[in-house]
Amino acid sequence: MTGVRHPAQDAKRLVATASGTERESVAWPHRDLLSLEELTADEITVILDTAEAFEDVSTRSVKKVPALRGRVVVNLFFEDSTRTRTSFTLAAQRLSADVIDFTARTSALNKGESLRDTVRNIEAMGVDLIVCRHSASGAPYLIARNVNCSVINAGDGRHEHPTQGLLDIYTIRQAKKRIDGLNVAIVGDVANSRVARSNLHGLLKLGAEVSFVGPTTLVPKAFEQLGANIYHNFDAVIDRFDVINMLRVQRERVTSNVFPSLEEYSRLFGLTNERMKRAKPDVLVMHPGPINRGVEMSADVADGQKSAILRQVANGLSVRMAVMFLCKQAADVG
C-alpha cells in the first residue's frame, strides 16, 4: 500500500522509541470498533499484527508507552465483567490514558436519564474513547451515532464481543502459527453467545473452518446460514478439530428449559479428560471465561497442558491496546 504504513510499524516504533508523537496515514480507517462482521480480513490482520507489536510492553519493568497520553477513556459497563473491564482499564493505562470507570448502578440512569443523554454528557467532559458493555444488542451503535469520540464494543447482548473474538483469534494464531485452514469448534450455548458470533465472523474471514457443536436448542440448524458446520453429537466429531473453544452456559440468558439438566448437558458436551482422549493430540482448548467448572469443562482440562485460557486473558491486554491505539489514530486523522 504506497504511502500508507502498516499501523504495526507505528506501534513497533512507539514501543521501541516511546516517542508517540508522529502521525501518518495508517491502513486502519475506523474510529470505532463495533463488530468483526464489518471488518475485512486485512483489517483484522492489522489489529493482530499491531497487538503483536504491543506485546513487548507487558514484559518491561515500566509497562507504559505514551500513545494515549493526555487522552481520556471511559469504561461504560452496564453488565458485570471481570476480564474485559480490567483488561481495558490496564490496556488504557499502559497507553498512558486517564481512565474513568462509570458504574451504571450508581449513575443518574437510575433517575430516568436516557443512555443517549448519559453518553452525550460524558462526552461533554472531554472524553476521547468510550468502551461500552450493555445487555442490549446494538447499544454501542446507538452510542456511536450520538457521540463524536471513539466507541469500542465490549460486548452487546447476544450480538458481538469483538475484542474477545480478536483475542481468541490472536491466541490461536500464536499457538498454531496460522488461521487459514484450521478446523475450529465452538461448543455449547451458541444461541446466546456474542463470543461465538465474533469468533465466527473473524475466523471465517481469515480462512478457518468453523463448526458449532451443542444441543439442538442451543445450536439451531439455521446457524448453517452463517457459514458454520452444525453438529449435535460432540463425540462423533471431536477428533476433527485443531481448536476447541468451549462456551459458558449463560444461565442469565437461558430463558427456558433448553436441556434437561446441567448434569445431562455436561455428560454430552462437557470437556473432560475422558473426552479429550478422542481429540487431536495437539488440540488447543479455549474458553472466554467465566468458566462453570464441572459444566462446560472439568477443572483438570481447564488447568491442563492443552488449555490456553490464561493465555487468552494475557493476550487480551495487547489486543485491547492495539484496538484503542488504532481507533485513536483513525479518529485523529479523520
* Binding-site ranges for ligand CP (CB under 6 A): 81-84, 155, 161, 164, 288-290
Distance of CA 14 to the CA centre of its chain: 24
The C-alpha cell 461465538 sits at 196
Q: Residue 222 CB, nearest distance to ligand CP (Å)?
A: 25
Identity of the residue, 65 or 195, whose beta carbon is nearer to ligand CP in the bound complex = 195
Whole-number Å distance between alpha carbons of 48 and 52 = 6
Identity of the residue, 7 or 316, whose beta carbon is nearer to ligand CP in the bound complex = 316
Q: Nearest Cα to 26, choosing from 320, 322, 326?
A: 326
Q: Residue 154 CB, nearest distance to ligand CP (Å)?
A: 7
Whole-number Å distance between alpha carbons of 81 and 72 = 21
Q: Nearest Cα to 96, choosing from 128, 68, 131?
A: 68
Identity of the residue, 84 or 329, whose beta carbon is nearer to ligand CP in the bound complex = 84
Cis ω before 260 (30° cut-off from 0): no
Identity of the residue, 164 or 211, whose beta carbon is nearer to ligand CP in the bound complex = 164
Identity of the residue, 270 or 288, whose beta carbon is nearer to ligand CP in the bound complex = 288
Q: Residue 271 CB, nearest distance to ligand CP (Å)?
A: 17
> What backbone torsions phi and psi does residue 199 show, to the nearest 5 degrees?
-60, -45
Q: Residue 25 CB, nearest distance to ligand CP (Å)?
A: 33
Q: Residue 83 CB, nearest distance to ligand CP (Å)?
A: 4
Q: Residue 73 CB, nearest distance to ligand CP (Å)?
A: 16
Identity of the residue, 195 or 238, whose beta carbon is nearer to ligand CP in the bound complex = 195
Identity of the residue, 29 or 290, whose beta carbon is nearer to ligand CP in the bound complex = 290
Contact predicate 316/163, CB 8 Å = yes
Contact predicate 168/199, CB 8 Å = yes
Q: The C-alpha cell of 171 is what?
A: 491466541
Identity of the residue, 80 or 264, whose beta carbon is nearer to ligand CP in the bound complex = 80
Q: 196: how many CB neighbours lie within 10 A of its CB?
A: 30
3-class secondary-structure state, position 241: coil
Contacts of 281 (CB under 8 A, 6+ apart): none
Q: Residue 86 CB, nearest distance to ligand CP (Å)?
A: 8
Q: Residue 119 CB, nearest distance to ligand CP (Å)?
A: 20
Helix H, strand E, coil C: the string for 42-89 is HHHHHHHHHHHHHHHHHHCCCCCCCCCCCCEEEEEECCCCCHHHHHHH
